[in-house]
Structure 1
């Protein structure tokens, strides 16, 4: 069975090998061709165009940044999107963090006899590499049952009901996750004021319930740019601004943005545990 995977950045490039390991052949596509060439082997075909990639399979997965989702899926005035190329009875699986209204827009633009699963991911690059992600697909039960074996290639799968629920639950869980990420940085801000060593502070945090967050922050092999966490906060606030006041999200976004701005060039996620992102004296 062939699966199409579109978007082979930090996450996608770690997910595709799990599909191969589970016996699938894979067609990959990315606007940046350098990201797909390193994945090419006997079981991975690199498509020359979006159209070729979409038409190659009945199950199409996408993994791109939130900002790029609508143009990729629905298209623009000058460029068709995925929905324009879907085969009959295709299942489109979107793994990005997304406003539920955008999920509805994409679903409405899809042709008849095709299905959409919004299946966002909980977990970062290391979890993708290890095959221990959590995916939370939502959509029709029949589409879910068809796609379930594919999704299980990446880790644990929790079906969460009707279309849009995956996107909603990703935003809900991100409130706590992002607060914890910014909380690590702010914890160390107080350590700076008290002149307490970062190592002992982070060690003590790892003895409690924040251990997974601290472990992720200390992972120097995590290539995720810190600005991607800020982008997820922006998507969360944009999706919920007319629904509910989320002051903690706004505060955590500001602190993470300050950390991004503190470093010239690209701040990595692990920089939240470094002096380089501390507050200016």
Structure 2
């Protein structure tokens, strides 16, 4: 059922970028091989909390599942989970981790902006740092694809780059516009039940390398160069880079938005 990623505009991370990261390679020639910044080798605390509350019900879609830690954890809790990601390398490694954990999880390659072949399959969607990977058009396609892939009454739990700082750490770029999120979800017949803030755990060491502070933008691929040259981005990246070096913890908390939306009926 899986398809490869769609053609990405310059402002959106490409499939090649993710493939490089998942294979331990630099994001581009001359960049450090930083590792996978979002790989904490465990489920995100927010996902564990939602599971403990009983908020994740029915058939669950872990969209953009990456290395599969959320899917593996939820399966261990007795929940029915399907993990989809557009990176073949991520899915291959997620399957290896699931096998090592002794669980069977349905993990497949798929395009989140299309989800061909998955119509009406899911009651719950968990989006753990996926929404901010798309531009506005991608957001629209993504929200519509999830509406098609879910059943009446389904809920979509989103965690994406937010504003503000946590312990001096801010997202240098990719911060989402709350009004844009609200408009996109409403237009795709998703009714927002909650919009607030949360944090997301990441690997400090990997984010030090991924901060890209001090690297000549001309050496970056187009999907990063444009972002790095926006007003204030380089300065914020440098501040974040310096702050990360001051911390001792292996894991860091990053500022994220938290959104819960319920699937509405098509008009």
TM-score band, normalised by the shorter chain?
Answer: 0.3 to 0.5
Greater percentage in strand: 2
- Normalising to structure 1: TM-score of the pair? 0.41
For the pair shown, which has the larger CA radius of gyration, 1 or 2? 1
Greater percentage in helix: 1
Q: Which has the higher contact order (CA 8 A, sep 6+)?
A: 2
